[in-house]
Structure formats: C-alpha cells, structure tokens
Amino acid sequence: MLAWTIYLSFAGALLLALLPKGRNTLARWLALAVAVGGLALGVRGFADGMGQGRVTIVDLAWVPSMGIHFLLAADGISRVLVLLTGLAAVAGVLFSWNIELRTNEFFAFFLALIGGVYGVFLSFDLFLLFVFYEIAIVPKYFLIAIWGSTRREYAAMKLALYSFVGSAMVLIGLLASYAASGAHSTGLVDLAHAGLPVSFQMWCFPLVFTGFAILAGMWPFHTWAPTGHVAAPTAASMLLAGVVMKLGAYGCLRVGIALFPHGLDPWGFSFIGIGSWRDVFALLAVIGIVYGALVALVQTDFKFVIGYSSVSHMGFVLLGLMTLNQIGVTGAVLQMFSHGILAGLLFAIVGRIVYERTHTRQLAALETMHLSRRMPFAAWAFVVAGMASMGLPGFSGFVAELQVLIGAWMVRPWWVAAAGVGIVVGVAYTWRTLQKAFFSDGVPSAHELEQEHGHKFAAITWPEVTGVVMLTGVSLFVGLYPKILLDAIEPAVKALLAGGGQ
C-alpha cells in the first residue's frame, strides 16, 4: 500500500511534465489530486500499520551480483514520516496555487521531490535509500533556481553543493560498510546484523552521520539552510524545512545510529569533557539550538527569522537522537513531525500569505503596514503558528521538545540547561517577530490610511485557508493527543535502539 505513494508521485510528476503548456488550472488540480492521493495512502498505511512492527512491502532483487535489493518496508518511524510528507505535499500544492510561471513544470519538480522523499522514508536497502536521497536533490535545485527569489542561483548552488558533499560522505560510508561487512548485501537489516568491527564503526559513524546531518542543518554545516529557505519559492521552502531536513535527520537515525551503534561508544579518553562522538554531536546540536535562536532574534528579514528558527528546532532533533534512550529518540522523531508541520506553516504564512501581498519581507517595512488590521487572517494564523513553534503546551512542539529534554536530562543535565536557553530565546524571537510584523503599535496617519484604502490587499484565497487550517489542526491534534503518533514511534524506536534490530 505505502509503496504506491512513491509510484503515484513519480507518475504524477511525469504526467505533469508531459502536460501541454498553458493548462495551469489543470496542472494545479492534477498536482493536488496526486498529493491528496499520497496523503490518503499514507493515512491508510499508518492506520493499517498500527500495532505492527516492521512490515516488508516490496522485495525484488535489483543488482543481484552486489546483493542490492529494491526493498521497501515500513516501521512506525517510517509511517509517521510518510504521513508528514503527505501533509507537507498537500499543503505545498495549496500554497503554490498562485504560481503562473511554467506551472506544470513547477508541479512536476515538486512531485518528483515528494516521490524521492517518500522513497527515502520507505527504503530499507542502503543503496536504494541513497538513490532516492540523490533523486531528491535535483528537483530541489531547479525549484530554487527557476522559481526562487533573493539570490536564487547562489542559494540553489550552495544547497546543491552542500547536499552533494554530504552525499559523498554517505556514499563512502555505504561502500566501506558493504566491503567491511562481507554480508554481500546492502540491506539495512543485513548490515546491522553483520557485526561491523568496532574500530570500523568508530570512523565510519562520524562520516555517515555528518553526511546526513548536513542536510538536517547541523551547526556549523547549516549555512545552506537559511539562504536556501529564503531563496526558495514558498512551496519549496515548506518542503525544504518541512521534509528535506527530516531526510537528513532520518538518515542519521536509520543509517548512522542503527548501523554503527558502537561508533557512539566512548573513545577511552576525554578532551575538555568530550569523550565520544556522541558528546561531539550533542554539543553541535546544542550550539545549533542556541545559535539558531540567537541569530533569528536579530534578523531584519521575516523569512530569515523562520530560516534560522529551523536550524534551532532541528537542533532538538539531533540532540534527541544523541540521547540514545527511548524517550529522547522518540521525542526526536516526534519533533521531526512537529517541525515539519510548523515550519511548513510558518513559511507559508511568510512567503505566500504575507509576501505575495506586501512584496516585502523586511520587518521594518512590515511594521508600518498595520497588518493585524489589514490581514487579520495572516496575523492570527501566525499567532497560532508562533505559539506552536515556541513550544507552548497544547501543540505538537511541546510534547516533542519535552521528551527530547527529558531524554537529554537522563544522560547529561547540562545539555538541557543549554537547550533551555534556546527555548527562552525562541519565545523572544517569535514574540519579537509577531509584534514587529503584525502588531506594531504605531497609529496610522490620515495619509497612510488613505493609501491603505487605495491598496487593498488581495483577499485570502481558499487554498490558503485550507492549508492553514489543516496544518494548525494537525499540530493541535498531535499536541493534545500525542498518543496517536507515539504509539507508532515508540515500538519502532525501541526495536531500533535494541542493537540495530530493525
């Protein structure tokens, strides 16, 4: 069932690419239909998979001489992330409804990217996973380079180069583990059971983990993320922050931690309190949390605020992974879902709802526009999204970050103290942005009022309302009833941590 998410997306992409130019409305509806279809399959797969462990979906020999299989399977983690991808895809199409430039190509690239993402989350063969991972890079580049804004060629190139460097590291790790395991298979389960030598894991783990973590926005390799997010068209920002960064984090967990558990063992010596790769990456994660939040606090461009906030929030995912305990890793996966929803929502508000009407993202300029009166829907949508993003209880982010912090506390309490600073700064930048962009206090002069009357903003359209309601609804629902996702994530995390026994 879940495999069809991949086929459907690629088929949709192909169909859209072949669609004659000028059929924009048809292209939109077709893309929406494919995205909704993918989401429906994801929901069905999620519901069917309740209470089940890892289920193999397809297993075909692909390159028998190397033991490469076309092996698709899903456990609770995959199912949750497939669900996220489906939601992000539908929301992305809804918030790209106004794209008029080469519409069919845009949606073709968009669906190809989605298909690649589904593929990564469902691959249980390392080689296959890598193929899908690479497939996802190409449409990303074109989406930014063709439909982007601020310095789009630079941003697209930077993103592509960072991604390729990360991929190269992963590829080296892939080949080395294939050779070292002697299992004549690239299946994740086979590799995990192959008993890779500890010394091998010690050098291969940081390589692969860093390779994936680049895409997860780990400090100091995060710099592609803010520029990429800002330059990308709205739907691409939503996907970049919403699901592509999750590809990196997912790879860190599914490949890095699961295949090389001993790579996290202590080195046997410690240098300024750091005695293992685990300490190193946790430190980088914590720096990312605090640094991302602090940089977001001083941005003048609305979209950059959200861009850096993503770096901060993804820091929680990486920190959760490095706790290596049930509660922290579960929190990390939940945070992937939660951030996917919320980053998408925030980018949609900034890039589509606000920017397409005001044609500026400078906070100083927005301050003079009285947006809370002129665009109340956007203002209140941002209030809700901001509350959720800063981790207020009742929204998905709270449960996720709480679990990450609890998990981290069980290992190293000082990580929590540092991450706590990030949370407080998170409240500060969210509130600052909210006040500057929407609720600035200035009383409009008569002249301004006249001008405002002259330039009424275009009315909010139905795809925008639908998208906002869907994403806030999901975040609220998961925040109030986290059990629905936790029931799927927890057994899968438990199995994964119990010695790679995926």
Partner 1 sequence: MSGFPILTLLTVLPLVGAAIALWAGKHARGVALITTFCSLAVALWVWTQLPVNGSIGLVEQHPWAPSLAIEYHLGVDGLGALMLVLSAIVTLMSVDAAHRVHHQPGLYFGLVLVLEAGLFGSFTALNFFHWFLFWELSLIPAFFLIKLWGGARRGPAATQFFVYTMAGSVALLVAFLAVFLSTGGSDGPGTMDFGQLTAMAQTGALERAVTAHLGSGFLGVSVPLWLAIGVLAGFAVKVPMIPFHTWLPAAYAEAPSPVTMLLTGAMSKMGVYGLLRIALPIFGAQIAQIRTPLLVLAVATVVMGAWAAAAQKDLKRVFAYSSVNHLGYCLLGIFALAVPATNAATLASQAAALNGVILQMFNHGVTAAALFWFVAMIQTRTGGHRGIDDFGGLRKPAPVLAGLMGIALFSSLGLPGLNGFVGEFLIFRGVFPLAWVAATVSILGLLVTAAVILTVIQKVFSGPVPERLVNFPDLHHDERMALAPVIGLMLLIGILPQLIVNSVNPTVQNLLAHWRF
Rank residues 13 and 342 by Cβ distance to partner 1 and give the closer one: 342
- Least Å distance between CB 120 and partner 1? 26
182 binds partner 1 (CB under 8 A): no
Q: Considering only CA atoms, which of 421, 419, 396, 394 is closest in space to residue 406?
A: 419
CA distance 113 to 108: 9
Residue 399 in contact with partner 1, rule: CB under 8 A: yes
Of the residues 207, 294, 392, 411, which one makes contact with partner 1 according to CB under 8 A: 392
From residue 321 to residue 340, the character string flagging contacts with partner 1 as x (rule: CB under 8 A) and all else as - is ------x--x----------
Choices 182-190, 295-303, 345-353, 386-394; region in contact with partner 1 by CB under 8 A:
386-394
Q: Which is nearer to partner 1, 216 or 327 (CB)?
A: 327
CB of 122 to partner 1, least distance (A): 25
72 beta partners: 58, 123
Residue placing its CB nearer to partner 1 in the complex, 64 or 413 = 413
Backbone phi, psi, residue 151, to 5°: 45, 55
Dist CA 92 CA 88 (whole Å): 6
Binding track over 361-380 against partner 1, x by CB under 8 A: -----------x---x----
Secondary element (H or E) of residue 189: helix 188-193
Whether residue 265 contacts residue 176, with contact meaning beta carbons closer than 8 Å, is answered with no
As measured in angstroms, the least distance from the Cβ of 319 to partner 1 is 15
Which region among 178-186, 207-215, 260-268, 392-400 touches partner 1 (by CB under 8 A)?
392-400
Distance of closest approach, residue 294 Cβ to partner 1, in angstroms: 17
Q: Write the interaction track for partner 1 spanning residues 480-499; mark x where CB under 8 A is met and - where it is not.
A: -xxx--x---x---------
Binding to partner 1 by residue 387, rule CB under 8 A?
yes
If the CB atoms of residues 467 and 479 are measured against partner 1, the closer one turns out to be: 479
Helical residues (DSSP H) of 221-370, grouped into ranges: 224-231, 234-239, 245-251, 258-259, 277-297, 302-323, 326-347, 355-358, 363-367
* Residue 234 or 330 having the CB closest to partner 1: 330
Least separation in angstroms between CB 170 and partner 1:
31
Point out which span in 13-21, 120-128, 270-278, 387-395 binds partner 1 (CB under 8 A): 387-395
Our finding on whether 409 is near partner 1 (CB under 8 A) is: yes
Taking the complex as a whole, the smallest distance from the CB of residue 427 to partner 1 amounts, in Å, to 6
Site for partner 1 in 101-160 (CB under 8 A): none
> Which of 212, 213, 223 shows the shortest CA–CA distance to 285?
213
Give one DSSP letter per residue of 191-257, joined into a string. HHHT---HHHHHHHHHHHHHHHHHHTT-TTS-THHHHHHHHS-HHHHHHIIIIIHHHHHHHIIIIII
Q: Which of 8, 2, 10 is nearest to 138 (CA)?
A: 10
d(CA 473, CA 463): 15
Return the number of the residue (462 or 481) whose C-beta is nearest partner 1: 481
The residues with which 55 forms a beta bridge, in sequence order, are: 74
Contacts to partner 1 from residues 417-476, by CB under 8 A: 420, 423-424, 427, 431, 435, 439, 441
CA 247 vs CA 76, 253, 340, 482: distances in Å: 16, 10, 11, 22
- Give min distance, CB of 246 to partner 1, in A: 21
User: Which helix (H) or strand (E) covers residue 61, if one does?
Assistant: strand 55-63
Report the SS3 class of residue 134. helix
Q: Which is nearer to partner 1, 143 or 336 (CB)?
A: 336
3-state secondary structure of 122: helix
User: 362: closest CA among 462, 262, 437?
Assistant: 437
Which part of the chain contacts partner 1 (CB under 8 A), choosing from 198-206, 343-351, 362-370, 409-417? 409-417
C-alpha distances (whole Å) from 84 to each of 88, 389, 427, 457 are 6, 16, 25, 32
- Nearer to partner 1 among residue 101 and residue 498 (C-beta): 498
For partner 1, the binding residues (CB under 8 A) are 327, 330, 372, 376, 383, 387, 392-394, 399, 402-403, 405-406, 409-410, 413, 416, 420, 423-424, 427, 431, 435, 439, 441, 481-483, 486, 490
